[in-house]
Every structure is written in structure tokens, then in C-alpha cells.
Amino acid sequence: MKEVESSLALSDPAQCRDDEAGCLPACAAERELAFPVAQNACRVVSNRWVNAEYRHLIVEASPTALAARPGQFFHLHCPAAHGAMPFLRRPMSVYRVDRDHACVEFLYKVQGAGTRGLAMLEPGDTLDAVGPVGRGFDVPDGARHVLLLARGVGLATLAPLARFAVTRGAKVTAVLSARDPSLVMSADYLRDAGADVIAVTDAENTSNVTHVDMLLERIHAETPFDFVTTCGSNRLLMLLQRFANTHGIAGQIALEQHMGCALGACYACVRPFRKTDTSDELTYRRVCWDGPVFGLKETVSW
């Protein structure tokens, strides 16, 4: 993968400040780049179906793209599919950053004009990906037990958090919710990353709010959670807000919205949020720039 325009090239290292040695590795990686967002021309390595609805896209990545942190996303130029011509780019959260092989991976559900176009990419093709962009997850220092609670495609967004949290010494429990067992994805990937994985499904009648709530309470009683995250379901958001509030646990959610620019300029991707965690007043915030990861308390259900 290489940067497309010379004007978008990597920074002159001389511009980097070296007086901030104490910062985190990811943060230091970002500081090495005067231009941490690039329009990346990524060579497609593979783009396979993982089940009837989802595809797994692996592309080669530049150092700029490899600096992506859990919860960040890329803004993808999707090829035209069957007469549909996506004019705007499509935001796609990072499923995995594989620094050993210099690849970035995406897991996506094929549904709209954009993802139908993405599904057409073949190995050797080029994917034009702007990024990484957005604010990722902030796992608190010293977190000991992190919950990933994901429904459907929300899993793709939370997945990179598993390895990240495990690396920082936390235990990770991933609760994956899906319509039926054949749509539960990445259980092996998450187990490899060191997470305890529990699947709940509609087909087995285990994904309902009551059951998931009891499940979380039981796990929490054994090994208390001190950081909880979710993505992909309004129902799970409300459940987790109540759970986190009851137990006084910090948490975050990754949100989606149709976007224009992904650089905080166009204000198309706003959603309403509480002005402060306890406020009854709402204000619009940009999912692309103020998020896509937000605090559980400021987030309002939809």
C-alpha cells in the first residue's frame, strides 16, 4: 500500500516533537506522522465470504494505516455494483490490524450499494481507503476485566479491542449476539486473542435482554467488570447502560451514522447526545469526529 498523492506523504520527521517520551505506544506512533490521515491505495489480499451474509476483507496497509487503534475506522471508496454508484465514501470500522503482515482487515455485512460494491473486490485490486479516522476506545489504565457486548456486525468494531485489552493485562469477556449460531463470527479469533467467548442467539432463545442481563450479572459476580463496551444494538445499549449504572462501571459504545466527509467538516453524521453525562438537554455531535466511540452515559438510545 502506498499514499496516493505526494502531497499526502509521510511527514518530515524533523517536525515531530521528541519531548513527549512518556506517551503511550499508539500515541507515539501517531506523533511520528505530521499527517496521520492518508488517502491509502491498498492492495487487496483477500475478500472472502465468512457466512451467508458477511465478508472478510484483508488489504495491505501503509505505516499510516497500521497506526489505526481499536474503534477507529477508514472511509472507503466503494466500487460501483450493478448500476448502483456510491458517490460518497462509506465508513468501515477496523476489524483487525495485523502489524506482522502489514495488513488491515474489515468484516462487513453485504447489504447496501457500498458494501455490495466492496464485495466485488478481488485479490490484487486496489481499495482507496482514507484513514485511520475517528476517536477509538479509551480503555482505562489498570482495567482488569473488560466486557465486549456485540450484536451482529457490531462485533467487527469491538473485535480489535480484545487483543488490545489483553495486551494491557486485562481479562476480556466477549458476549456475541446473533440471529442463529451460523452467524456467530470470530469466536476463534477472539479466543486466540485471549478472550472468554459466549455466544447468545435468537434461535436458541438466549439473546433476549433478560437472559443477557442475568448472564452479565453472573459473570460480574465472579469477576467484576471495570470497563464495558458495546456496538450494534439499541437493545443491548439500553441493557448495558442500566447494568453499568447499577454497578458504577465506566463504558463506551461505538456508533454508526451515514457520513459525508469523515473529517469533521460537513456535519452530516450527527446524532443527539446528552450535553453532559447527567444532563437532560441534548446536543448534536459528529459521529465521525467526536466519535465514533462515545461514553455510555452521554449516548441516548434510538
Partner 1 sequence: MVDLSVTIGSVTLANPVMPGSGTFADGFARVFDLNRLGAIVTKTITDDVREGNPPPRVAEFRDATLFSIGIPSRGSDYYLRETVPFYSRYLPPLIASISADSVDDFGALAAKLAVPEIAAIEANVSCPNLKADGKAFGMDAQATHDVVRAMRERSGLPVWAKMTPNAGNVVEVAKAAEEAGAEAIVMGNAMLAMAIDTETFRPKVANLMGGITGRATKPVLLRMAYQCAQAVKIPVIGCGGIASASDAIEYLLAGCTAVQVGTENFVNPGVMPAIIDELNGFCVRRGITRVQDLTGAMQAHEPMSMVWRASL
Is position 2 an interface residue for partner 1 (rule: CB under 8 A)? no
Quick one: which of 4, 66, 110, 119 contacts partner 1 (CB under 8 A)? 4
Is position 264 an interface residue for partner 1 (rule: CB under 8 A)? yes
Q: Which cell is 98 given? A: 495485523
Q: Using the CB atoms, write b or e for 258-296: b if 16+ within 10 Å.
A: ebebbbeeeeebebebbeeeeeeeeeebbbbbbbbbbeb
Q: How far is the CB of 253 from partner 1 (least distance, A)?
A: 17
Is position 260 an interface residue for partner 1 (rule: CB under 8 A)? yes
Quick one: which of 61, 259, 293, 296 contacts partner 1 (CB under 8 A)? 259
Is position 266 an interface residue for partner 1 (rule: CB under 8 A)? yes
Please say whether the beta carbons of 132 and 35 come within 8 A. no
The nearer residue to partner 1, 49 or 284, going by C-beta atoms, is 284
The nearer residue to partner 1, 40 or 177, going by C-beta atoms, is 40
Pairing type for strands 145-151 and 227-231 reads: parallel
Is position 85 an interface residue for partner 1 (rule: CB under 8 A)? yes
- The runs of H, that is alpha helices, within 41-153 are 63-66, 113-118
Residue 150 to residue 160: CA distance in whole angstroms: 12
Stretch that binds partner 1, among 146-154, 183-191, 228-236, 262-270 (CB under 8 A): 262-270
Quick one: which of 70, 86, 136, 291 contacts partner 1 (CB under 8 A)? 86
Is position 69 an interface residue for partner 1 (rule: CB under 8 A)? no
CA-CA distances (angstroms) from residue 150 to 80, 210, 216?
30, 16, 13
The nearer residue to partner 1, 119 or 263, going by C-beta atoms, is 263
- Span 134-163, contacts to partner 1 by CB under 8 A: none
Stretch that binds partner 1, among 79-87, 190-198, 206-214, 223-231 (CB under 8 A): 79-87
Please say whether the beta carbons of 288 and 259 come within 8 A. yes
Quick one: which of 59, 78, 97, 130 contacts partner 1 (CB under 8 A)? 130
Is position 129 an interface residue for partner 1 (rule: CB under 8 A)? no
3-state secondary structure of 262: coil
Give the position of cell 435468537. 202
Is position 255 an interface residue for partner 1 (rule: CB under 8 A)? no
Stretch that binds partner 1, among 54-62, 81-89, 189-197, 244-252 (CB under 8 A): 81-89
Please say whether the beta carbons of 241 and 297 come within 8 A. yes
Please say whether the beta carbons of 300 and 238 come within 8 A. no
Is position 198 an interface residue for partner 1 (rule: CB under 8 A)? no
CA-CA distances (angstroms) from residue 66 to 36, 72, 74, 159, 212?
10, 11, 11, 16, 35
Quick one: which of 26, 66, 119, 268 contacts partner 1 (CB under 8 A)? 268
The nearer residue to partner 1, 130 or 195, going by C-beta atoms, is 130
Please say whether the beta carbons of 201 and 207 come within 8 A. yes
Q: How far is the CB of 279 from partner 1 (least distance, A)?
A: 14
Is position 49 an interface residue for partner 1 (rule: CB under 8 A)? no
Residue 289 to residue 263: CA distance in whole angstroms: 6
User: Where along the sequence are the contacts to partner 1 (CB under 8 A)?
Assistant: 4-8, 35-39, 77, 85-89, 130, 133, 257-271, 283-284, 289
